[in-house]
Amino acid sequence: MLLSEGQMSDYNGAALMIDALPQSKVLLGDRGYDAAWFRNALTARGITPCIPSKANRKISIPHDRTLYRQRHRIENMFGRLKDWRRIHTRYDRCAHTFMSAIRICCVRRAGLPICPMTHASRLSASTSADSGVIPPPIPI
């Protein structure tokens, strides 16, 4: 995962992460990733780019419109992350603190317990009572 400054363009950030991309068949990206070198690098790795062409590109490169429509799921995830005011306004000055807040938000969105030890002790207490019901995660 790469945390870049806000004014960095998408394809400059992609240049830093191209070697860390996992093996996949297709990469969905918005128009900000439309660069010939990026498309070539993806193709060299065996990844098909599904990136619409920029409006100022002289020769438009076709992309799978049906597959590209699935990109809204990624945008929805970022929208849900930004529901947390701390992440939306980036209160944290240090990158590691900001990334920690993002991870906590992701864990909370997934419905997982923040502190496994507390959850485990609650789980053992409920099973000892033979209730058979797993307690919900501890709210923060």
Per this entry, what is the length of the chain? 140
pLDDT of residue 21: 84
Among candidates 70, 74, 32, 37, which has minimal Cα distance to 53?
A: 32
| Separation of alpha carbons 69 and 50, rounded Å | 10
Integer Cα distance of 23 and 67 in angstroms: 18
CA–CA separation, 137 vs 18, rounded Å?
37
Q: By C-alpha distance, which of 5, 8, 60 is closest to 32?
A: 8
Would you state the structure tokens that stand for residue 112, as one six-digit string?
A: 């997982």
Instruction: Tell me which of 113 and 137 has the higher pLDDT.
Output: 113
Q: What is the pLDDT of residues 83-126, one digit of tens each?
A: 888 777 777 778 888 888 888 888 887 777 666 555 455 455 44
Quickly state the pLDDT bin for 42 (edges 50, 70, 90): very high
pTM of the predicted model, to two decimals?
0.62
How many whole angstroms separate alpha carbon 29 and alpha carbon 69?
11
